[in-house]
Structure 1
Amino acid sequence: MQQRTSLITLGARDVPALALFYDALGWARTPSPEGVVAYDLIGQTLGLYPLDKLAEDIGVPVAELGHGASTLGHNVRQKPEVAEILTRAQEAGARLLKPAQDVFWGGHHGYFADPEGHIWEIAYNPFSPLRADGAFRWLGYEAE
């Protein structure tokens, strides 16, 4: 198995409403089957899929899916972008969990939850600069 994530699927109680939130962030949908909303990202796709159908597909009760202790991370190029994105997310309907602030390790970040509770970290990490196309790697990219 290669070290990559191809598709991130969020189980949604209300796919159309959650899709409107991501649309309000400025994301563009990509064509997908009825009942599924997909957004192509840099190197992967974020999919919104009905929670009950996701549980059925996996073969577990919906209650077993719960909300795991995980976050989705979005890194930015400049420190001020963290607060800008957190504000845009709030305007789109997100709940602010942690405002933009400096972090002990030298970065700057904040957290929000989308309308269904999926948690996003927006971060500026001066030690992991993004590639020109926005791709992220833990220790950044050397000149390629």
Structure 2
Amino acid sequence: MDQQLHFITVATRDLDAGRSFYRTLGWTPALDVPGEIIFYQVAPGLLLGLFLDDKFAQDAGLDARPAPSGVTLSHNVGSPADVDQLVSAMAAAGATILQEPRDGAFGGIFHALVRDPNGIVWEIAHNPGWHIGEDGTVDIG
């Protein structure tokens, strides 16, 4: 099996709140099916899907509506000031700040944690060792 990932799909309670939140941040859907799912292209060949929780449960054959937990999506930026700026923009768009921007306890990074309106936790980070090569490989530093 090739070591690849093409979709990250998250069950969401309120698709309209997710749509509004990410639109406020300037994201444009690659596909938006009202009342069902929204896909955003987040990297070459990678989509983030927000799937309405009852439809997610139906598709997965689950009896109960799931909620996101135990997963953090991370977005790396160029500087600590960029962390501050993006966290402020996300809060203004409706996110809850879980951890204010600060030096991290692990890995020499500067980061913050925010929760979007549907409970998805984002880490906004500046990692001076983070680098993506021309071939797309990641050096974590």
Structure 2 length normalisation: TM-score? Answer: 0.86
**What is the distance in 2 between the residues matched to 1:127 and 1:10?**
29
Instruction: Note the alpha carbon deviations across 1:44-72, whole angstroms, 9 max, x for none.
Output: 11111110111111111225x34321101
**What is the distance in 2 between the residues matched to 1:19 and 1:7?**
18
Does structure 1 residue 78 correspond to structure 2 residue 79?
yes
Q: 1:102, 1:109 within 8 Å by CA — same for their partners in 2? A: yes
Tell me the secondary structure at the aligned position of residue 119 of structure 2: coil
- Write the mapping of 1:8-23 to structure 2, written as runs, cut at 5 A: 8-23=8-23
Tell me the equivalent position of 1:120. Answer: 122
Distance 1:6 1:110, change over 3 A: same
Give the CA RMSD over aligned residues: 2.2
Tell me the secondary structure at the aligned position of residue 57 of structure 1: helix
Tell me the secondary structure at the aligned position of residue 93 of structure 1: coil
What's the CA shift for 1:8? 1.1
Find runs of 4+ consecutive structure 1 residues off by over 3 angstroms.
Answer: 31-34
Instruction: Note the alpha carbon deviations across 1:1-27, whole angstroms, 9 max, x for none.
Output: 222221111211221221110111111
**What is the distance in 1 between the residues matched to 2:132 and 2:82?**
13
Higher strand share: 2
**What is the distance in 1 between the residues matched to 2:37 and 2:101?**
32
Distance 1:131 1:88, change over 3 A: farther
Tell me the secondary structure at the aligned position of residue 140 of structure 2: coil
Distance 1:22 1:7, change over 3 A: same
Q: 2:95, 2:114 within 8 Å by CA — same for their partners in 1? A: yes
Q: 1:128, 1:136 within 8 Å by CA — same for their partners in 2? A: no
The unaligned stretches of length 5 or more in structure 1 are: none
Identity percentage over the alignment? 32
Deviates more, 1:66-75 or 1:82-91: 66-75
**What is the distance in 2 between the residues matched to 1:48 and 1:121?**
18
Q: 2:102, 2:111 within 8 Å by CA — same for their partners in 1? A: yes
Distance 1:131 1:99, change over 3 A: farther
**What is the distance in 2 between the residues matched to 1:72 and 1:46?**
10
What's the CA shift for 1:32? 4.2
Structure 1 length normalisation: TM-score? Answer: 0.84
Say how many residue pairs are matched.
138
